[in-house]
């Protein structure tokens, strides 16, 4: 049998991150160590043993830099500091040391497509047209014949990711600056060599401090093309994205970054590029280890498959056949050429168990709490098995490991997410949409679903804040009301523990070469309930079958090997005799077996 990857032909010589599992922390919502209602570095440090017990290898911290927090820290005002809300540089160094002492690594979120409008670079840039750093950002005159600041006067018709035009008028200097996201997030001009030198120097500063790498926010947007109007096309990306997504010099800049920042360092480092709108052909370039760009990317195709014709805010039912085809295409397309990241949850996505599984909340509302917990456990672990048994580096988002769910938001006043609030304002005010319809979509798809405080136990506010029994301590965002029954402590004490199932998945990736490197082959692509595939390395084959539905699923002959050894199951111990027909998967049941004599 051929080796699974020409990029890493010998598993013994493969990079360390090919066997790693990453855990994402959204710091403001992870744990509050000082009792002010806002997650912080001391809170993270207090929960490191939870992550060490889980078995993860890497912690990815969402931004903790000084920021005015217009986009929850993704608007950075100082790249070489810690926001006082989170702590100090000294506390960061202590956290980093504690992570390393437990055998884990820590990567930072790097946001360098844009800065905050309060960053010193931008303050100088906007001070005058003749400012030394004027060209560190992208400034343009109004459209010819138009008055700056008036509707339609923007230099191009590009749209922002967060609704509205992608250009912001600056009255003081009489020009527009490009801002693909919030108005307070001006885009850096990566074509300016001084910008790149400053970014690389900052990255080296963090690596010298002991950081183990970076997750790079929207890194494929840094190279802009022509600043021209574009024709509307059917796309999940904003109007104009074809001019800057995977732009003309992005690969050049990433190779330069690799040479200037990472090459020659005697350290085990990791780079992950977030790349919205990136097709497989571009991903092959980004992650080819011979090119020296990034180790892996986050692509978005699979998490857009439940978007309707109107995009994210027009949610549709997931078609499992489409998801299987998409994930298989990426598995096959990067085999031997690059490396996949594996995720279904993060700070920008709704909760997995509510979005694609069954979170049991409807049953609990009817008083059947026990049945609701069983269903939530089963669907959470079935989806976990489907994801973690693929080839790539899995990413776990905080709370996913014990089944946190979406939130029952009431009105628009409950939302914090700038993307959701801007959409609501534009849809209701500008387009006259029914507020009830808009809110229904927001409840399903808002990023706020992922950003409520982690539910550690059944105490006040889910144990999020130290001293939370004090009446004056209120988390920055309300805890999901279901924290009394859905929390880490309850799950870890349960006979049906999502946490323990994740532990076993992580252990398999660490110990079994087939899980880490085996060739992927999709089975039954047209089945509407069943996700099944094999992983093969040498003479060994693992078979995963998962029923991703609320009804029983009869296994087709291709998924019923005559001679197989149980490896993992979510509804029964592998060594146990099945209580039901082995040819039938129960709702949300997942099984992993090793097939003997596979031929």
The token pair that represents 255 in the structure block: 């190779």
Q: Could you tell me whether strands 540-547 and 590-595 are parallel, antiparallel, or unpaired per DSSP bridges?
A: antiparallel
Separation of alpha carbons 63 and 77, rounded Å: 11
The token pair that represents 129 in the structure block: 């047209």
Catalytic site residue from 32, 83, 217, 400: 217
CB atoms within 10 A of CB 472: 8
> What is the dihedral sign for C-alpha 215, 216, 217, 219?
negative
Task: Please write down the long-range contacts of 198-202, taking CB distance under 8 Å and 24 or more positions apart.
Answer: 198/121, 199/112, 199/257, 200/256, 200/257, 200/260, 200/261, 202/79, 202/80
Query: To which residue do tokens 């820590």 refer?
Result: 106
Query: Looking at 115-195, which runs of residues are DSSP E strands?
Result: 139-140, 167-170, 175-178
472 catalytically annotated: no
In Å, how far from its chain's centre is CA 547? 24
Separation of alpha carbons 43 and 37, rounded Å: 11
Separation of alpha carbons 374 and 380, rounded Å: 10
One-letter-per-residue 3-state SS of 305-349: CCEECCEEEEECCCCHHHHHHHHHHHHHHHCCCCCEEECCCCCCC
Catalytic site residue from 274, 295, 301, 589: 274
Q: List strands edge to edge, sheet with 530-537.
A: 519-523, 530-537, 540-547, 590-595, 564-569
Separation of alpha carbons 165 and 180, rounded Å: 8
Residue 547 β-bridge partners: 530
One-letter-per-residue 3-state SS of 462-518: HHCECCCCCCCCCCCCCCCHHHHCCCHHHHHHCCCCHHHHHHHHHHHHHHCHHHHHC
DSSP letters of 528-560?
SSEEEEEEEETTEEEEEEEE-SSS-EEPPGGG-
Stated as kind and residue range, the H or E segment containing 594 is: strand 590-595
400 catalytically annotated: no
- By annotation, the residues acting in catalysis are 217, 274
């Amino acid at each position: 049998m051929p080796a699974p990857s020409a990029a890493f032909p010998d598993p013994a010589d493969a990079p360390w991150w090919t066997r790693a599992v990453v855990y994402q922390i959204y710091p403001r919502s992870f744990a509050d160590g000082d009792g002010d209602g806002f997650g912080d570095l001391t809170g993270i440090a207090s929960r490191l043993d939870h992550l060490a017990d889980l078995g993860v290898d890497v912690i990815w911290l969402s931004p903790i830099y000084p920021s005015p927090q217009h986009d929850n820290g993704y608007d950075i005002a100082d790249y070489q500091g810690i926001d006082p809300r989170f702590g100090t540089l000294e506390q960061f160094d202590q956290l980093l040391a504690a992570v390393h002492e437990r055998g884990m690594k820590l990567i930072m979120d790097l946001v360098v497509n844009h800065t905050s409008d309060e960053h010193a670079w931008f303050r100088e840039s906007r001070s005058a047209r003749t400012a030394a750093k004027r060209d560190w950002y992208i400034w343009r005159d109004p459209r010819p014949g138009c008055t700056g600041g008036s509707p339609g006067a923007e230099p191009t018709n590009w749209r922002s990711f967060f609704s509205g035009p992608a250009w912001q008028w600056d009255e003081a200097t009489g020009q527009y600056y490009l801002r693909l996201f919030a108005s307070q997030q001006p885009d850096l001009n990566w074509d300016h060599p001084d910008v790149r030198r400053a970014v690389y120097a900052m990255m080296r500063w963090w690596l010298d401090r002991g950081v183990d790498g970076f997750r790079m926010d929207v890194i494929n947007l840094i190279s802009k093309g022509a600043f021209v109007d574009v024709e509307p096309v059917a796309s999940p990306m904003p109007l104009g994205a074809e001019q800057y997504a995977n732009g003309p010099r992005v690969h050049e800049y990433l190779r330069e970054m690799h040479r200037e920042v990472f090459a020659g360092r005697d350290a085990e480092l990791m780079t992950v590029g977030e790349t919205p709108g990136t097709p497989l052909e571009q991903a092959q370039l980004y992650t080819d280890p011979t090119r020296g760009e990034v180790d892996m990317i986050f692509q978005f195709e699979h998490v857009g498959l439940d978007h309707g014709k109107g995009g994210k805010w027009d949610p549709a039912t997931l078609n499992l056949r489409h998801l299987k085809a998409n994930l298989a295409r990426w598995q096959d397309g990067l085999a031997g050429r690059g490396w996949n990241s594996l995720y279904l949850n993060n700070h920008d996505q709704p909760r997995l168990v509510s979005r694609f599984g069954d979170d049991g909340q409807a049953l609990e509302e009817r008083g059947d709490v026990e049945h609701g917990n069983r269903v939530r456990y089963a669907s959470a672990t079935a989806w976990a098995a489907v994801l973690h048994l693929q080839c790539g580096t899995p990413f776990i988002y905080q709370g996913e490991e014990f089944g946190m769910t979406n939130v029952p938001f009431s009105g628009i006043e409950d939302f914090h997410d700038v993307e959701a609030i801007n959409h609501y304002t534009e849809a209701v005010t500008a387009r006259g949409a029914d507020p009830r319809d808009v809110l229904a979509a927001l409840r399903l798809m808002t990023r706020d679903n992922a950003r409520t405080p982690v539910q550690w136990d059944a105490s006040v506010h889910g144990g999020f804040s130290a001293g939370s029994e004090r009446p004056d301590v209120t988390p920055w965002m309300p805890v999901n009301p279901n924290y009394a029954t859905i929390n880490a402590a309850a799950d870890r004490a349960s006979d049906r523990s999502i946490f323990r199932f994740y532990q076993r998945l992580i252990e398999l990736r660490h110990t079994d070469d087939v899980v880490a490197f085996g060739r992927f082959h999709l089975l039954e692509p047209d089945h509407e309930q069943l996700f099944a595939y094999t992983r093969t390395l040498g003479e060994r084959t693992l078979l995963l079958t998962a029923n991703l539905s609320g009804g029983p699923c009869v296994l087709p002959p291709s998924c019923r090997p005559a001679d197989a050894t149980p490896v993992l199951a979510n509804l029964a111990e592998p060594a146990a005799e099945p209580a039901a027909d082995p040819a039938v998967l129960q709702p949300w049941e997942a099984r992993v077996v090793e097939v003997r004599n596979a031929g």
